[in-house]
């Protein structure tokens, strides 16, 4: 049985156990041995971070080749346009190459915790929310995608990874569960089987016994 932790990472917390540059790490919130982050979440992003003690599960969650879906709620500057949502859905070209098609739609303002500190707001510029689901894990990808279509992100909250959802967890809270491996996700690929090393012939030139 693999151990899996669902953690609501607060704003400003690093996706590592050690603190650095004045920013707290996961050890400030979790006192559970032998678990490691499966993927990461930017310091200035919030929401679901998965941790596990199982290497195969960690790879399945974090390795881009499995294309595990990740869903975000993004508060952006301005009233998001239909054209912007269409561009995000079809895929756009960033500096590091084209993105895969995503699922993008307008979202109502979510009933979630207030961010500390609050976002930078301008009185004469409205904000809106986008629900965006991607199947990649590039650095700051959602922020770059939204900025590319003209809607800078003010707040970013990850609410789902694969089949695991943030649920009612508050910032700094976690939920622990045990799952049976392999937990194959829809659309993912099986990891290649481990090959046994080839046996060398014996000194007399005979093949070793099986």
Specify which residues 73 forms β-bridges with: 131, 157
Active-site position among 21, 28, 31, 42: 42
Q: Which of 179, 171, 135 lies closest to 155 in space, CA to CA?
A: 171
Known catalytic membership, residue 42? yes
CA distances (Å), 108 to each of 77, 123, 130, 168, 209, in order? 14, 20, 8, 18, 67
Q: Which of 192, 204, 187, 173 lies closest to 5 in space, CA to CA?
A: 173
**Beta pairing class for 36-37 and 127-134:** unpaired
Q: Active-site residues: which are they? A: 42
């Amino acid at each position: 049985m693999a151990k899996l932790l669902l953690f609501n990472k607060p704003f400003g917390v690093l996706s590592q156990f050690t603190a650095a540059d004045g920013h707290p790490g996961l050890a400030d919130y979790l006192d559970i041995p032998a678990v490691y982050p499966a993927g990461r979440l930017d310091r200035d992003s919030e929401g679901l971070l998965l941790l596990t003690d199982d290497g195969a599960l960690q790879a399945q969650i974090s390795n881009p080749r499995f294309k595990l879906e990740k869903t975000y709620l993004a508060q952006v500057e301005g009233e998001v346009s239909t054209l912007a949502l269409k561009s995000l859905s079809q895929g756009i070209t960033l500096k590091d190459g084209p993105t895969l098609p995503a699922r993008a739609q307008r979202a109502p303002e979510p009933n979630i915790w207030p961010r500390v500190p609050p976002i930078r707001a301008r009185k004469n510029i409205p904000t809106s929310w986008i629900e965006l689901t991607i199947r990649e894990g590039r650095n700051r990808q959602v922020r770059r995608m939204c900025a590319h279509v003209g809607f800078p992100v003010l707040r970013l909250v990850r609410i789902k990874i694969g089949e695991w959802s943030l649920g009612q967890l508050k910032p700094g809270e976690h939920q622990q569960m045990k799952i049976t491996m392999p937990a194959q996700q829809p659309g993912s690929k099986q990891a290649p089987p481990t090959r046994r090393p080839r046996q060398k012939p014996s000194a007399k030139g005979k093949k070793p016994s099986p």
